[in-house]
Structure 1
Amino acid sequence: MRELSIKIKIADREYPMTVKADEEERIRKAGKLINERLKSYREKFGIDDKQDLLSMVAFDALIDRLSVEDNRQGADESVLNKIKSINQLISQSI
């Protein structure tokens, strides 16, 4: 897999990194989303301290991830229950 050397700017600081070519777009998008959230919190709450802003973004991102995991787990359980029901119907019809 080909690797690229890129720089991502977050909160006015550049971070050099080496990434796989097929991950570059996702990494750049993540950097853009972080900067958008930083700007949003700065405007919404009037906070200029970059460490506070980055902490808020990190906390917000983790809450989003936990929510997605909870939703996925609920969907997995729902699918499993439906499969069990289908298996019961098949067993009864044999």
Structure 2
Amino acid sequence: MAGTRRISVKLAGKEYPMTIRQAEEEKYRRAAQDINALISVYKTRFAAEPEDYLAMAALQVAVDKVGLEMNREMTEEAQRLQKIEREIDDYLNNI
């Protein structure tokens, strides 16, 4: 495939080969680093199986993603409210 690259990322000590778009390689590598960092934190907090560390890391990443989405939605709602406020101010200033 044009514009793709075969890479291998290591998560929890296991290699995962994949084919990705070249432009996204850094994203994948940084994501793997973040997940491995979370796994290291969980390993210091409790003893569990490797898949449990991966599950907890996946949950944390998903929670962070949902938090960002909710924040973005709130920001968009605040922008809509500001627009309505400006329209009301304009209307009141012109009557």
TM-score strictly above 0.5: yes
Q: Deviations over 1:25-49 (max 9, x none)?
A: 011000010001001100122x241
Q: Which residue of 2 aligns with 1:42?
A: 43
What is residue 60 of structure 1 aligned with on the other side? Answer: 60
Q: Deviations over 1:6-63 (max 9, x none)?
A: 0001011111111111111011000010001001100122x24101111111111111
Report matched runs for 1:69-80 at 5 Å.
Answer: 69-80=69-80
- Residue in 2 that maps onto 1:27: 28
| 5+ residue gaps, structure 2 | none
Q: Percent identity?
A: 28
Runs of 4+ in 1 over 6 A off after TM superposition: none
TM-score calculated relative to the size of structure 1: 0.88
| TM-score, L = length of structure 2 | 0.87
- The amino acid of 2:27's aligned partner reads R
Which stretches in structure 1 are left out of the alignment for 5+ residues? Answer: none
Distance in 1 (alpha carbons) for counterparts of 2:92 and 2:85: 11
Aligned residue pairs, count: 93
